[in-house]
């Protein structure tokens, strides 16, 4: 499976670094992942406009913790949630995260 890794580190200063298919991004605390990615010209599919109704913005948290919300529980099985799958439009970075975004 092809994928791109985004490392989201929470700091007040933002920076980007491209290395092949990997991009490192420092993201301020309490920022919605979708909004921050868009601010940095990184696009994930959100056909529903970020409401969590389409599940086109699937991401996987590979390091760090992202809270499971009601829409995540609707779209993902317990096994998928334990594996870190979340709706990218509903992820809030409250700590450093490493996020896998499938191509």
Would you say 103 and 6 are in contact if contact means Cβ atoms under 8 Å apart?
A: no
Structure tokens at 18: 């491209």
pLDDT at residue 25, as a whole number: 59
Q: Which residues contact 10 (CB under 8 A, 6 or more apart)?
A: 26, 27, 28, 29, 93, 94, 95, 96
- What value does the mean pLDDT of the chain take? 76
User: Does the model's pTM come out above 0.85?
Assistant: no
The string of pLDDT tens digits covering residues 3-23 is 555 555 544 333 443 444 545
Identify the DSSP state of 94: S
What tens digit of pLDDT does each residue of 24-83 get? 556 667 788 888 888 878 877 788 888 888 998 888 888 888 999 999 999 999 999 999
Q: Which residues pair with 5 in a beta bridge?
A: 22, 100
Residues in the chain: 103
């Amino acid at each position: 499976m092809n994928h791109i890794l985004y490392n989201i580190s929470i700091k007040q200063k933002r920076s980007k670094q491209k290395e092949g298919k990997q991009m490192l991004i420092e993201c301020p605390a309490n920022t919605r992942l979708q909004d921050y990615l868009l601010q940095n010209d990184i696009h994930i599919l959100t056909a529903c406009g970020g409401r969590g109704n389409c599940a086109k913005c699937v991401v996987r948290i590979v390091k760090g913790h992202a809270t499971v919300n009601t829409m995540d529980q609707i779209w993902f099985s317990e096994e998928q949630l334990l594996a870190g799958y979340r709706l990218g439009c509903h992820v809030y970075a409250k700590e450093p995260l490493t996020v896998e975004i499938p191509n």
